[in-house]
Amino acid sequence: MVDDILDNGGDKDIRTAFLDVLGPQNGTKVFDAVMKNNPSFAPNITRLQVFDAIADECAKQQIYVHLDNHVSKAGWCCDEDDGNAWFGDTFFDTIKWKRALGYMAEHLIGAIIQGKMWPNLVSMALRNELRNSANRLVAFDVNWKTWYGNMTSGADAIHKANPDLLIFFSGLYYDSQLREIFDHDSVGRSNRNDIHFDRSKLAYKDKIVLEVHDYDMDESNCTNKRTKLTKQAFAALGPISPEVQTVFPLVMTEWGFAQAPDQYQGPFASCLRDFLPEKQVGWMTWALGGSYYIRSGIHDYDETWGLLDHTWNNWRCPECIDRGLAPMVKATLGS
């Protein structure tokens, strides 16, 4: 969206955007539904104005906003062959990516000046689920040195535009591995010198938050899962030790399961339901919405992992909420 705005003469209204992506019939249908359910929207409302409106409503509902840079070319995420996997991938232009991070951070400053303040905005993420790319022509090697150079320069762009924001750093391998960020090992070498993630040298040293994802449902032993998660990510919480050089705040920004009774009672969800409150960390579950305008070429796609049903009016699985996630929220807030 940001590339479209900056390269093609500015933002466009959502009707045009829907027609471009969904076609005349489905685009018009979706646009009409949006206008019906949001009577305050002007017919020519733009995409960024919708962002502003959503943030404003979230503020009224006392919900924080965290902006996530998910993909460079919109589509279902994530695979190694989707062109969004690694720096320099088919659609992952690193120069435009940094430009977009700065643009969105600066847009929020502009919104404040114009009286559309996002008082509930707290953070921006750099990139979702970095991973190996199936594209063998990718210019940048998949390693921690490449990660370090690009992620710190991306964070520079955010901090320069909006120094108040927390900045979320994801790791490697679909954001399952963070250890090289906080342990004593180097993330690479430059001019024969080791490179370490030394946040004391960064202008935003007190704004860094690490994020981790977990969808490892193959591990049915909770003790093993706890050990693995601690080694790969949660040791970042401390204490300082020979294996942990620097401590960071940490949030599990994605985990989830199909909304069905057998799933929330399964070993994966049951383990995290105890582990995350015990670690006193924040967490976000995938996903809230019950359907998509389009996903993988299918219009009005049903999201079986969505907390809400297809119409977004009710819980998809009330039992999963009442006996699973609601007690977990209570335990987290009480920890």
Question: Rounded to an integer, what distance in angstroms lies between the CA atom of residue 107 and that of residue 105?
Answer: 5
How much is the pLDDT for 167? 98
Question: Rounded to an integer, what distance in angstroms lies between the CA atom of residue 222 and that of residue 242?
Answer: 26
* Residue range 198-242, pLDDT digits in tens: 888 999 999 999 999 999 999 999 999 999 999 999 999 998 887
Question: Rounded to an integer, what distance in angstroms lies between the CA atom of residue 72 and that of residue 60?
Answer: 30
- Please tell me the least confidently modeled range out of 42-51, 136-145, 159-168: 136-145
Radius of gyration of the chain (CA): 21
How much is the pLDDT for 118? 82
How much is the pLDDT for 183? 87
Question: Rounded to an integer, what distance in angstroms lies between the CA atom of residue 198 and that of residue 328?
Answer: 34
The whole-number average pLDDT for the span 87-99 is 96
* Residue range 161-207, pLDDT digits in tens: 999 999 999 999 999 999 989 986 667 666 556 777 888 899 999 99
- Asked if residue 281 has pLDDT above 70, the reply is yes
Higher pLDDT, 284 or 180: 284
Q: How confident is the model at residue 244 (pLDDT cuts 50, 70, 90)?
A: confident
Task: Assess contact for 46 and 5: CB atoms under 8 A.
Answer: no
What is the rounded average pLDDT for all residues in the chain?
93
- Asked if residue 309 has pLDDT above 60, the reply is yes
How much is the pLDDT for 185? 62
Q: What φ, ψ does residue 242 adopt, rounded to 5°?
A: -55, -25
Short-list 199, 172, 185, CA closest to 242? 185
How much is the pLDDT for 184? 64
* Residue range 94-142, pLDDT digits in tens: 999 999 999 999 887 776 666 666 888 999 999 999 999 999 888 788 9
* Residue range 253-278, pLDDT digits in tens: 999 999 999 999 999 999 999 999 99
How much is the pLDDT for 223? 98
